[in-house]
């Protein structure tokens, strides 16, 4: 059994609310498939993760909630390899127990229907039960994919912002990095042309 710190440092795959002998606890699964059972609630675990990565969860939900036009069920973007998607994972015994756990978007291998619920298969091969229909799960994954694509696009834009100057001063054959930055500039031009067409029409 791994420690909570080991899972966080090694890479988080999922955070699952469970009932065990200690009561309302949390099951953490790492990207390597290792498991940690922590006696604290999911809400507390999320707070510890946000402190570890210096991320403000409330601000994160507000920012990306606007992007997908949602207030509830907004993914928590921690970094470029950890985006936590909330899913209903149990029926609470008491009012404040909480039903939702989280799965790392980047660690989902596949999803498949299991009667009225959905099984989420992690890259490690571990399966996580989600108490939502597969249609709902896939919609949530598509919304998260939209957020991830926007983040990646913004990062590439920042990296390629000064491409023109860099390329003008470079001698010799263009590298793959040069070509990637040129591709981003072309995408920006394409977006600009599309916007101009909308205004004209």
Residue 97, both tokens: 């127990």
- 112 with 187, same domain: the answer is no
- 28 with 52, same domain: the answer is yes
Question: What is the per-residue pLDDT for 30?
Answer: 95
Non-local (6+) Cβ contacts of 38 within 8 A are: 4, 25, 26, 27, 28, 45
3-state secondary structure 71-116: CCCCCEEEECCEEEEEEECCCCCCCCCCCEEEEEHHHEEEEEEECC
> How much is the average pLDDT of 4-31?
91
Q: pLDDT confidence of 96, banded at 50, 70, 90?
A: confident
Non-local (6+) Cβ contacts of 147 within 8 A are: 64, 67, 68, 75, 77, 83
Question: What is the per-residue pLDDT for 118?
Answer: 96
Helices 134-160, 57-68: inter-axial angle, 10-degree rounding: 100
- 129 with 52, same domain: the answer is yes
Q: Do the Cβ atoms of 49 and 9 come closer than 8 Å?
A: no
**Structural domain tally of the chain?**
2
Torsion of CA 171, 173, 176, 180, to 10 degrees: 60
What average pLDDT does the structure give for the chain?
85
Higher pLDDT, 135 or 174: 135
Q: Do the Cβ atoms of 43 and 15 come closer than 8 Å?
A: no
- 103 with 184, same domain: the answer is no
- 106 with 177, same domain: the answer is no
Higher pLDDT, 2 or 13: 13
- 85 with 180, same domain: the answer is no
- 183 with 97, same domain: the answer is no
The alpha carbon of residue 177 and the mean position of all alpha carbons in its chain are separated, in whole angstroms, by 26
- 105 with 176, same domain: the answer is no
Question: What is the per-residue pLDDT for 154?
Answer: 74
- 173 with 85, same domain: the answer is no
> How much is the average pLDDT of 44-60?
93
Distance CA 77, CA 12 (A): 13
Non-local (6+) Cβ contacts of 11 within 8 A are: 30, 31, 32, 81, 82, 104, 107
- 65 with 87, same domain: the answer is yes
Q: Which of 154, 151, 184 is nearest to 166 (CA)?
A: 184
- 168 with 93, same domain: the answer is no
pLDDT at 28 exceeding the cut of 90:
yes
Q: pLDDT confidence of 117, banded at 50, 70, 90?
A: very high
The alpha carbon of residue 68 and the mean position of all alpha carbons in its chain are separated, in whole angstroms, by 14
Question: What is the per-residue pLDDT for 3?
Answer: 83
Q: Which domain holds residue 168?
A: 161-200
Q: pLDDT confidence of 23, banded at 50, 70, 90?
A: confident
């Amino acid at each position: 059994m791994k420690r909570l710190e080991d899972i966080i440092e090694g890479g988080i795959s999922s955070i699952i609310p469970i009932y065990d002998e200690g009561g309302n606890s949390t099951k953490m699964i790492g990207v390597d498939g290792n498991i940690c059972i922590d006696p604290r609630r999911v809400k507390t675990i999320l707070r510890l993760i946000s402190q570890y990565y210096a991320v403000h969860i409330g601000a994160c939900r507000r920012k990306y909630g606007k992007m997908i036009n949602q207030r509830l069920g907004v993914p928590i973007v921690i970094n470029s390899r950890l985006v936590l998607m909330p899913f209903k994972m149990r029926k609470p015994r008491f009012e404040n127990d909480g039903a939702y756990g989280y799965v790392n978007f980047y660690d989902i291998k596949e999803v498949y229907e299991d009667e009225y619920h959905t099984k989420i298969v992690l890259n490690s091969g571990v399966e996580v039960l989600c108490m939502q229909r597969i249609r709902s799960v896939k919609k949530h994954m598509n919304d998260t994919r939209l957020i991830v694509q926007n983040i990646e696009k913004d990062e590439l834009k920042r990296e390629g912002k000064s491409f023109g100057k860099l390329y003008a001063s470079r001698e010799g054959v263009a590298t793959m990095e040069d070509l990637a930055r040129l591709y981003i500039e072309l995408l920006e031009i394409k977006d600009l042309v599309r916007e101009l067409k909308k205004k004209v029409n």
